[in-house]
Chains A and B, each alone.
Chain A
Amino acid sequence: DIQMTQSPSSLSASVGDRVTITCRASQSISSYLNWYQQKPGKAPNLLIYAASSLKRGVPSRFSGSGSGTDFTLTISSLQPEDFGTYYCQQSYRTTVTFGQGTRLEIK
């Protein structure tokens, strides 16, 4: 299985900050990388697919980059509603795997 490792596991940032979350794959996955946001008590929500494509309706402050083994999710200017846990997920293999999650708290 392809292992996905996110960092940091948690972070706290202020409104307006630029936030970056990193995801590393245990082997090259090209651009087969998705990002999800999950708020407490809610189902996950797809933000970015194919490493850098923004899902329709997702605010443009979210962006993704990377290919191969190293990927980044960036929130350009953090908003109060951006709290929650973020997960990366590889779709290179039909046996999907997720990162362990990054919990984002608003200061």
Chain B
Amino acid sequence: EVQLVESGGGLVQPGRSLRLSCAASGFTFDDYAMHWVRQAPGKGLEWVSGISWNSGTINYADSVKGRFTISRDNAKNSLSLQMNSLRAEDTALYYCAKEGVDSSGFYRSLDHWGQGTLVTVSS
């Protein structure tokens, strides 16, 4: 069974940093791309960042580019998100999600999600 468990959230002051982690199990971690998706309280889903299986391709949403850094450690089956220069608008529940690919190899989706870790940016 695929399991994704996020950790590292908490209350942080504006301008400070926080590092989120996602522990993966139940699948061959280094076969799959991984993503971070966030959801502000009462709002919709916002994709944050994605990383390919070998870290060769990394993408960010414009809203976090230059402030957040995604990384992975395939030896430890873990995904991370380093968040710097945090702003009030970064307050959200942060989900770790596994990317799935269909049998054709063309169509990608987020086929498994963790339960999220809450980040609150406030003074």
Contacts and interface: CB of A to CB of B under 8 A. Distances in A.
Q: Do A and B originate from a single complex?
A: yes
Interface of A: 1, 31-32, 34, 36, 38, 42-46, 49-50, 53, 55, 85, 87, 89, 91, 94-101
B interface: dominant SS? strand
A1 B60 CA distance: 11
B109 A44 contact: no
B45 interface: yes
Nearest to B33: A94
A interface: dominant SS? loop
Q: Which of B45, B46, B95, B111 has the most CB of A within 10 A?
A: B45
A89 B47 CA distance: 10
Contacts of A91: 107-109
A68 to B, nearest CB: 15
Interface string B95-110: 1000010100011111
B109 A46 contact: yes
Contacts of B107: 31-32, 49-50, 53, 91
